[in-house]
Amino acid sequence: MRRLAGITLLLMQMAAVVHARLVPSRWLGAWAPNDYAVRYRLQVHVDSCLLSADETGERYGLRAEGVYENPVQNLMDIVRQREETYGREDHARVVLTYHRNRGRLEEWRWPEK
Amino acid sequence: MAREMMPSKWSPNPFSFGGTSLPLPLLLAAKLVALCLLLRFTWRNLPSPFLPFLSVLDYFRYTPLFAWTLKMAVLIGCAAVLLNYRVRTACLVTGSAFFLGILASRPYFENNILYLACLLILLGLYEPRTGPWLIRAQIILVFFAAALNKLLDTSWRSGQFFDYWASVFVNKSFYFQVESWLPQMALARLMSWTTIAIEFGIAVTLLFRRSRIWGVWLGLLLAAGQNFLTERTFGVFFYVMPISYLAFFAWPPSGITVHYDVDCGFCRRIHGLVGRLDVDRLFAWRAFKRGVDLSEIPRDRHTRRLYAIIGEKKYSGFAALRIIALYFPIVYFALLVPLTLPQGLLLHHRSLLPLFFLLFFSPIFAKSTKLQNSPAPAESLGNRLQLAS
């Protein structure tokens, strides 16, 4: 029984590794530790008020700006989940500005069009 | 789940490794991980549910008890592991607490915490029939997946990632000095491909018995090198990954016999120190006087020295001391503790410690010779551990 549980845990991870090849995010079991360097900044407007860095950090459990060592898709997933659940009534407008490895500056906005 | 074997005699001594349901290397790994979690206060960051992977956990979002329960589970689990109490269950509880913490909060997710959780869970699921293969497979999988992810990423292949990442995280000026001597992107590309090759190399060499030691050395060098360049521990990765390599090794079943010259003050001090702390009697000490024949060592080879004998292999002098250190579990605790100290306490030279430790245990000091006469069979290690507990 123990062996079966252990094998199941490993097989789930293998499935996650394969799944990671098909999606841009890297979450549980994808095993891409510190493989990314995304410099980002989050700007959030709620009721036309710009949130401070501390308020932004508290809203998403992340710093308002910094270098993120997971794919930028992970950041988007966090923002999306926050705004679709706890922040559904806030109608927040979020701008995520980022670049990957000194590449061109990119922008992602919530709500997504 | 199979009922955990109760030790014949429970010993709450953290430096005792006998009489539990985990073999010595895995129990040592579990204790080192537990100590690391306590010294690094890793348990303090366990979260309350916030943007969970499983939406059902949001039910506990405003319940402080959730986070406190996880923290207490980790603290109690670590204490139980260190005190040899139901060690497999304790590992399972501790690992599950971290896993639940990750499931409860996306922002809390970090690969090093997930690896910690998986390692502890697999230690908890250990069965003598399977041996340590689940843990070995976990380590191989992590390195293979990490190498594959890098290989398939264009910014890793081009060196662009490493070039930017180094500018943010590498804090050794000599790195940038070397970079300035080379064509643009040459060093970044070299570091990228070296990392990919090393990670694939670790995954492959760990698969086979003969090459396993090289895989472990590659892994240790990779961790030490990353720590030296950046002075980062990558969460608990820097500690937990090297600790988990213990799953690839076994202590000599026949134990280790140590012959020491009674006229050698240093040898007597080593005997005194190790003998006092060797709770499980992993070492059998035999004193000799120079000029008296020992069956294992010819009289004309006697000097004021230490001899360590494992099976048919004999080590003398510094190599013997190294072997004693390698198989003396308390040494691993002594290596771990300074590495967990804050940088400032070690004048920001903590990253030199792993390099020093690696040099000490380096294979260049591992010369052994075959015995001319086989020694009398020592009491088996298994018996000694039973008796010790």
Cα nearest neighbour of A68 on chain B = B165
More confident position, B380 or B199: B199
Output B385 or A15, whichever has higher pLDDT.
A15
How far B290 CA sits from the closest chain A CA (Å)?
53
The complex scores an ipTM of 0.95
Segment (H or E) for A18:
helix A2-20
Q: Can you tell me which residue has the tokens 């015995």? A: B371
Q: Which residues of chain A are within 8 Å of residue B152 when distances are taken between CB atoms?
A: 21
* Backbone phi and psi for residue B60, each to the nearest 5 degrees, phi listed first: -100, 15
Q: What is the mean pLDDT of residues B65-72?
A: 96
- B121-170 tens-digit pLDDT: 999 999 998 899 999 999 999 999 999 999 999 999 999 999 999 999 99
Nearest CA in chain B to A60: B107
* Core vs surface per residue B25-52: b (16+ CB within 10 A) or e: bbbbbbbbbbbbbbeeebbeebbbbbbb
**Residues B6-19: pLDDT tens digits?**
345 778 999 999 88
The two beta strands, B256-261 and B283-288, are: parallel
pLDDT higher than threshold 60 for residue B371:
no
Whether residue B86 has pLDDT greater than 80: yes
Q: Quick check: B141 and A3 CB within 8 A?
A: no
How many Cβ pairs within 8 Å bridge chains A and B?
115
Exposure class string for A67-104: b at 16+ Cβ within 10 A, else e: ebbbbbbbbbbbbbbbbeeebeeeebebebebebbeee
Query: Quick check: A35 and B161 CB within 8 A?
Result: yes
Q: What is the pTM of this model?
A: 0.90
Is there a contact between A10 and B148 if contact means CB atoms under 8 Å apart? no
- Reply yes or no on whether the pLDDT at B285 is more than 50: yes
Residues 6+ apart with CB under 8 A from B197: none
Distance in Å, alpha carbon of B48 to nearest chain A alpha carbon:
11
On whether the CB atoms of residues B239 and B116 are closer than 8 A, the answer is: no
Which pLDDT belongs to residue B363?
67
With contacts defined as CB-CB under 8 Å, which chain B residues touch A61?
Answer: 50-51, 105-108
| Closest CA in chain A for residue B140 | A10
* Nearest residue, CB atoms, A17 vs list B138, B145, B164: B145
Q: What is the pLDDT of residues B294-353, one digit of tens each?
A: 555 666 565 657 889 998 888 888 888 999 999 999 999 999 998 898 776 766 667 777
Sort out which chain B residues have CB atoms less than 8 A from A86's CB and list them.
Answer: 51
8 Å CB contact of A2 and B51: no
Q: Would you state the pLDDT for residue B370?
A: 52
Flag whether pLDDT at B82 surpasses 70. yes
Joined together, the tokens standing for residue B356 give: 């020093």
Whether B125 and A27 lie within 8 Å, measured CB to CB: no
Contact yes or no for A14 and B141 at CB 8 A: yes
Nearest CA in chain B to A2: B125
Alpha carbon of B54: minimum distance to chain A alpha carbons (Å): 12
